Amino acid sequence: DKVSQVHRTAYHFQPPMNWINDPNGPMYYKGLYHLFYQYNPKGAVWGNIVWAHSVSKDLINWEALEHAIYPSKEFDKNGCWSGSVTILPDDKPVILYTGIDPKKRQVQNYAVPKNLSDPYLREWDKPDDHNPIVDPDKSVNASAFRDPTTAWLVDGQWRMVVGSRDKDTGIAYLYRSKDFKEWVKAESPLHSLEKTGMWECPDFFPVSLSGENGLDTSVFEKKGKHAFKVSLDVTRYEYYTIGTYDKENDKYIPDEDSIDGWSGLRFDYGNFYASKTFFDPSKHRRILWGWANESDTVKDDKEKGWAGIQAIPRKVWLDANGKQLVQWPVEELETLRTNEVQLSNQKLQKGEHIEVKGITAAQADVDVTFSFPSLDKAESFDPKWEKLDALDVCAQKGSKVEGGLGPFGLLTLASEKLEEFTPVFFRIFKAPTKHAVLLCSDASSSSLGNGLYKPSFAGFVDVDLTNNKLSLRSLIDHSVVESFGAEGKTVILSRVYPTLAILGKAHLFVFNNGSETITMEKLGAWSMKKPQMNEALKK
Ligand code: DQQ
């Protein structure tokens, strides 16, 4: 029997079928972007993990290639888990990845292209010489030792980090090598922190102090800043800090005002995990890939025959305030825009909603700027909330709870009579010393379906409100709503599974449910075309 595929995404990265998880080894090489990813060739649940491989000229249209890395040696007999690519001098890419060995130990291996003149880099060799390059020594927990990073070069020696834990202390073990084969563990880790648990998929990279350009992973600017990200196994959230890299002592030191731990900054306050960045020399930018798991039931995943997507690749850079990163969908995404609709200067009184007509609302890109006369009507911030996650505040103060300044924003994937909708909205509070801006992407009203995970994802937005404006962009793609608040300062990805608001029956509205009148200053909305998405195996 034919399963309905109403929730399959059109322009997010997906293979034709089966389970996917972490993005692996993203790179730009000889005019092509490569993406590898954790893949189960045999089904829609996690298992039998190989590195599937796709290439693209524009990060939007993808061609599927043969699997690049799959169990074929003793040192990866039980699985080929996550890892990274480093491009060595003379344009030679090398993969570092975690293999699961016959004793189920996690070991670090390397692989090199069989034929460097093939721009597709289809076939990879895992030499017996020096593999595995890193074995867990006696001090290391061999079942929590994985996900090697892209390496960086300091004074002629490569460094890379492997994620781990010692009891509940998260650890980024540091290794050094002169030739990329002989690796020696440093006496102390690059970074570690108690009570954070296993550090999966660490990522460590330099950021420019000004502008939006990215830096190659081995570039160190005077007084430069670095970002360090980990994926926390226990909560399935990631967090990052901004800090400095002390090259002499090979230590990463988070800035004093950058929270190191569970409540630190996140790339994304929604469904986004095991992310990885890479430097794109062709456009001098750093790009972030992240995995968005299903929020559907496992039974549905199996019936559909697929599970997992990759978020739209995002350019990432340091905010002008030096305190956080900013993200924006890569500009190439805009080539998919069609059926443009522009609206401007429309007032929204309390309780009003305006439909955005003329686009395919289930497969769209919408970018809107709101303004308001003043901050006077902002509700006061309940001090009790200080102890809560933003998500809990959003669960209490949803889009249907009337406010002062907000809630206002978008109702995405909405059914005609609003039995289903995923609101993405701002709500502004008067906090003791300043205003607190909450961005919420609330899945609780997204579907009449049963057994779904429907969290009220939310994050605070550290934004200057002196011009009384806030902007919001949402990428809507059937079962995903990926939203960028305040030009990418706070980002939230939600997976949702409407039963009524599907395909041509989905609607998009702009709404306000606060006593202050909001002006929709300008809105651009587009239907999104379907790119080539891994259908054909490139010959
Ligand atoms: N997924 C991989 C691991 C990694 C985890 C296995 C994160 O290497 O730690 O599929 O999602």
The pLDDT, as a whole number, for residue 537 is 62
CB 142 within 8 A of CB 136: yes
| pLDDT above 70 for 536 | no
Tens of pLDDT, residue by residue over 499-512, are 999 999 999 999 99
User: Angle at the Cα of 69 (from 32 to 285), degrees rounded to 5?
Assistant: 30
Instruction: Please give the structure tokens belonging to residue 427.
Output: 């709500």
300 CB near ligand 1 (under 6 Å) = no
98 CB near ligand 1 (under 6 Å) = yes
The pLDDT, as a whole number, for residue 538 is 55
> Under 8 Å CB-to-CB from 244, ≥6 apart: which residues?
224, 225, 226, 252, 253, 255
| pLDDT above 80 for 2 | no
| pLDDT above 70 for 1 | no
Of 226, 241, 203, 232, which Cα lies nearest the Cα of 85? 203
Sheet holding 92-100, edge to edge: 80-88, 92-100, 106-113, 124-125
The confidence band for 539, taking pLDDT boundaries of 50, 70 and 90, is low
Residue range 58-68: mean pLDDT, rounded = 97
293 CB near ligand 1 (under 6 Å) = no
The atom of ligand 1 lying closest to the CA of 200 is 9
Structure ipTM over 0.90, yes or no: yes
User: Rounded CA gap, 414 and 421, in Å?
Assistant: 4
Q: Which amino acid is at 66?
A: E
Q: Which amino acid is at 43?
A: G
Q: Whose CA is nearest to atom 6 of ligand 1?
A: 81
Give 463's Cβ-side CA count (13 Å radius): 25
The confidence band for 222, taking pLDDT boundaries of 50, 70 and 90, is confident
Site to probe by mutation for ligand 1, drawn from 18, 19, 38 as the one with most ligand atoms within 8 Å of Cβ, is 38
Catalytic positions, written as ranges: 22
Mean pLDDT (the chain, rounded)? 96
Which contiguous run of DSSP H or E holds residue 300?
A: helix 298-304
The pLDDT, as a whole number, for residue 341 is 98
Instruction: Please give the structure tokens belonging to residue 171.
Output: 């650890």
Residue range 234-245: mean pLDDT, rounded = 95
User: Rounded CA gap, 396 and 260, in Å?
Assistant: 27
Question: 82 C-alpha vs ligand 1 centroid, how far in Å?
Answer: 6
User: Rounded CA gap, 505 and 338, in Å?
Assistant: 19
The atom of ligand 1 lying closest to the CA of 81 is 8
Residues in the chain: 539
Task: Phi first, then psi: give them for residue 464, nearest 5 degrees.
Answer: -80, 120
State whether residue 393 is helix, strand or coil.
helix
Q: What percent of the chain has pLDDT over 70?
A: 99
Question: 429 C-alpha vs ligand 1 centroid, how far in Å?
Answer: 38
Cα torsion through 132, 136, 141, 146, rounded to 10: -40
Instruction: Please give the structure tokens belonging to residue 132.
Output: 């595995």
Tens of pLDDT, residue by residue over 115-152, are 999 999 999 999 999 999 999 999 999 999 999 999 99
233 CB near ligand 1 (under 6 Å) = no
271 CB near ligand 1 (under 6 Å) = no
CB 408 within 8 A of CB 514: yes
Residue range 8-33: mean pLDDT, rounded = 98
Segments in 384-480 forming alpha helices (H): 390-396
CB 527 within 8 A of CB 335: no
Tens of pLDDT, residue by residue over 437-496, are 999 999 999 999 999 999 999 999 999 999 999 999 999 999 999 999 999 999 999 999
Tens of pLDDT, residue by residue over 251-309, are 999 999 999 999 999 999 999 999 999 999 999 999 999 999 999 999 999 999 999 99
Residue range 186-211: mean pLDDT, rounded = 97
Tens of pLDDT, residue by residue over 317-372, are 999 999 999 999 999 999 999 999 999 999 999 999 999 999 999 999 999 999 99
Q: Which amino acid is at 89?
A: P
Tens of pLDDT, residue by residue over 407-432, are 999 999 999 999 999 999 999 999 88
81 CB near ligand 1 (under 6 Å) = yes
Site to probe by mutation for ligand 1, drawn from 20, 147, 171 as the one with most ligand atoms within 8 Å of Cβ, is 147
Task: Phi first, then psi: give them for residue 395, nearest 5 degrees.
Answer: -65, -35
Question: 18 C-alpha vs ligand 1 centroid, how far in Å?
Answer: 17
Q: Which contacts qualify for 450-456: CB closer than 8 Å, 24 or more apart?
A: 451/297, 451/299, 451/300, 452/295, 452/296, 452/297, 452/496, 452/497, 453/295, 453/296, 453/495, 454/295, 454/496, 455/270, 455/295, 455/391, 455/494, 456/391, 456/392, 456/394, 456/395, 456/398
CB 408 within 8 A of CB 425: yes
49 CB near ligand 1 (under 6 Å) = yes
User: Rounded CA gap, 52 and 36, in Å?
Assistant: 5
Give 38's Cβ-side CA count (13 Å radius): 31
Instruction: Check: pTM over 0.95? Answer yes or no.
Output: yes
